[in-house]
Structure 1
Amino acid sequence: MSLKERLKDFAGSIASATTNSPDDYSEWSSWTYETHMADIKALWTEVRPQLKRDLEQAEFINAKLAEMFEAFDSGEKDAGRKAAWAIYSLKVERLR
């Protein structure tokens, strides 16, 4: 998978985090909070080393991801969603 495709997947996963906080996942779905957050972490782990130009944005994303995970894990879903929106608003699919 190319960097461009991984960035699109990452952007989509982050977009989902703006609306799905830990207690908002459907019980019938195989998509859970845990699998979603694991997906975000895995995608970022793959994408981050490939970014060569947008290093400042990458550091911002690192900080906001940490903020998002901490907020969601402590039950502060609005703060977690706000951090996800901050990442998504960067237009992460355009990073290089």
Structure 2
Amino acid sequence: MMSLSDKTVDFSGALAIASTDAPDDYPDWGSTTYASNMEDLKDLWAEIRATLKKDLDKVPFIDAKLQEAFFAFDSGEKEKGRKAILAIYNLEVKKLR
């Protein structure tokens, strides 16, 4: 079972990959795909969200930006999606508690 700290580090990494590769720039040689990266973001955020104690004020912002990113990527608006992902990343999500 992963600790909250481990989950936030993984979430930060998934955000970093999405900020540069999503939705269609994932390298062919890598194991991460758009679908797997988006699923990781959703799963990790659900787990983090359920265990947050101190940073509950950031939950609505992250929820909204994730939805914005998924919608933008699905609508072909790559830069808008990447900006939404970066907005979350810039919250220093590794430090969420």
Give TM class, smaller chain. Answer: over 0.9
In the other structure, the counterpart of 1:60 is: 61
Identity %: 55
Tell me the distance in 2 between the aligned counterparts of 1:62 and 1:74: 18
Q: Deviations over 1:45-65 (max 9, x none)?
A: 111010111111111100000
Q: Deviations over 1:1-42 (max 9, x none)?
A: 100010000011001111012111123333210011001111
Q: Deviations over 1:43-87 (max 9, x none)?
A: 111110101111111111000000010001111000000001100
Q: Pairwise CA RMSD of aligned residues?
A: 0.9
In the other structure, the counterpart of 2:25 is: 24
Q: Which runs of 4+ in 1 moved over 3 A?
A: none
Equivalent AA in structure 2 for residue 41 of structure 1:
K
Structure 2 regions of 5+ residues with no counterpart? none
- TM-score, normalised with respect to structure 2: 0.94
Bigger mean CA offset, 21-30 vs 61-70: 21-30
Structure 1 regions of 5+ residues with no counterpart? none
Equivalent AA in structure 2 for residue 25 of structure 1:
Y
In the other structure, the counterpart of 2:96 is: 95
Matched residue count: 96
Tell me the distance in 2 between the aligned counterparts of 1:15 and 1:30: 15
Equivalent AA in structure 2 for residue 4 of structure 1:
S
Equivalent AA in structure 2 for residue 53 of structure 1:
K
In the other structure, the counterpart of 1:36 is: 37
In the other structure, the counterpart of 1:12 is: 13
Equivalent AA in structure 1 for residue 22 of structure 2:
S
